[in-house]
Amino acid sequence: MQRQSRKPAVLFLSLPVLAWALFDFANTIFSANIVTLFFPQYITEIIGTDARLEQISSTVIAYANAASALLLILFSPLFGVLMDRTGKRKKYIIIFTLLTVGSSILMGIFGGVNTGTIFGIPNGLFLTIILFVFAKFAYSSGNVFYDGMLSSLGNKKEVPLISGFGVALGYLGTLFGIFSVLIIIGDHSIHNAFWLSGILFLLFALPLFFINRDPVQKPKPKQQFLKGYKDIYRTFREARDYPSIFFFMIAYFFINDALATAIAMMQPYATTVVGFEAGAFLIVFMVATLFSIIGALVFGFVNQKYGSKPTFSIIGLLLAFAITIAALPLPMWTFWIAASLFGIAMGSVWVVSRTIIIELSPEGREGQFFGLFAFSAKMSAIVGPFIYGTITLLLSDFGTLASRIAITSLLIMVIIGLYFHSKVKIPHDGTV
């Protein structure tokens, strides 16, 4: 029997929900501080000593992100089988969180080391890159189990509120993490931001460690080790029987590809191409984060009023406009507009995509197709950075032009995505 819905204030202040949402606050500190801000800044400062090497540093950042995404692609289907077989979420959240935190602290230690070389690369730099790849993989792996915990925290009406509460605290975690580094690390070397971010991640993850419990689950029969991969392949084949789902999956792949790559490469692009100082870019990023919050809220209402298909098209057009502004050699102040538009797209694209998936999925099979779209998002996290990094590597002799061409490639992805999205038909959305 489904339990009665609680009032929002009671729901949000219940200890399991609050602890779960605080974990979103915690892991966003890692995502914003290390993945988006300070690892790219560290690489740029160490490698990018001239115009050509600045482009090489962009390649290193892009390839490191692609490598961690590749590891997640390889292992995430196994995680789903593991959850189904054991019913355990918290145990693996703790394991992957500790691996992420440990790797982040080691990044802070080795980031300041330069006592020799490994494969011709300064040993501290080499180890920091390897640790980043593993830390991001562990962070993303933990999120698979963290997301799986959501359904046990409330009934069907409560789950969207709990999810939104976590997202809101996540954005606050972004701002908190940045201010903490600015206050505590100050003018010290940037690699110190790694260990601090790791410790903050652990600190705010502790409530979930001690408060939350996995629901009791009857033992399930053992499943084949490769079941997760077979399920994805089967769902992909079945998606072709539903043309709108198939087209939207392709559209989402390209749109998400462009957006995720733009966010991942925003720091090196803004500092080496546009000309922002590292401190000024932090402000740009915080503004983009605020617009993410606005985008998530506003486009929820736009979606409700105009339908999910046109709303997704609007988001794609805003993203295309942002990429165009960033790619052209315009005055520096125009990048504030681009960053704000990137933020709006980042905050709104999953809100609307989630609605479309629900609308297009056959009844009772939403979870199956959500899994396929999540896999598509992971795939795009490899392709986009790899293409971007390859362009900056091959054209590094052309200096900043290499990065401008690389970011223009994202515009092509958006156009392809919008083309396939135009083929999507949502019967009750007025788009047949």
CA atoms within 13 A on the CB side of 145: 27
Supply the pTM of this predicted model. 0.86
Q: Say if residue 304 is in the same domain as residue 340.
A: yes
Find all residues with CB under 8 Å of 337, minimum gap 6, and list them: 322, 325
Query: Structural domain of residue 77, as residue ranges?
Result: 17-212
Q: Tell me, what CATH number does 311's domain have?
A: 1.20.1250.20
Cα dist. 325→264, 334, 336 in Å?
Answer: 17, 7, 10
Torsion of CA 404, 405, 407, 408, to 10 degrees: 120
The domain boundary, picked from 179, 212, 245, lies at: 212
**What does the buried/exposed string (b/e) look like for 120-134 if buried means 16 or more CB atoms within 10 Å of the residue's CB?**
eebebbbbbbbbbbb
Q: Say if residue 269 is in the same domain as residue 193.
A: no
- Counting Cβ atoms within 10 Å, is residue 5 exposed (0-12), middle (13-18) or buried (19+)? middle
Find all residues with CB under 8 Å of 229, minimum gap 6, and list them: 77
Q: Is residue 339 part of a domain?
A: yes
Q: Say if residue 48 is in the same domain as residue 176.
A: yes
Count of domains forming the chain:
2
pLDDT 10s per residue in the chain (432 long)?
456 777 777 778 889 889 999 999 999 999 999 999 999 999 999 997 788 988 999 999 999 999 999 998 888 777 777 776 777 889 999 999 999 999 999 999 999 888 887 877 889 999 999 999 999 999 999 988 887 787 778 776 777 677 777 777 888 898 899 999 889 988 788 999 999 999 999 999 999 999 988 877 665 666 565 666 777 777 777 777 778 888 888 898 899 899 989 988 999 999 999 999 988 998 998 899 889 888 877 887 888 788 889 999 999 999 999 999 999 999 999 999 999 999 999 888 877 887 787 778 776 666 566 667 777 777 888 888 999 999 999 999 999 999 999 999 999 999 999 999 999 887 665 443
Q: Say if residue 382 is in the same domain as residue 246.
A: yes
Residue among 403, 350, 400 at smallest CA distance from 373: 350
Q: Say if residue 378 is in the same domain as residue 249.
A: yes
Do residues 152 and 5 lie in contact, with contact meaning Cβ atoms separated by under 8 Å? Answer: no
Do residues 200 and 77 lie in contact, with contact meaning Cβ atoms separated by under 8 Å? Answer: no
Cα dist. 253→250, 322, 361 in Å?
Answer: 5, 18, 17
Partners of 122 in the β-ladder: 117
Residue among 297, 305, 299 at smallest CA distance from 319: 299
Q: Say if residue 337 is in the same domain as residue 253.
A: yes
Q: Say if residue 166 is in the same domain as residue 275.
A: no
Q: Say if residue 246 is in the same domain as residue 287.
A: yes
DSSP state of 115: S
Alpha carbons 257 and 137: distance in angstroms, whole number: 18
In 189-242, which residue ranges form alpha helices assigned H by DSSP?
Answer: 192-211, 227-239
Q: Say if residue 177 is in the same domain as residue 249.
A: no
Q: Is residue 432 part of a domain?
A: no
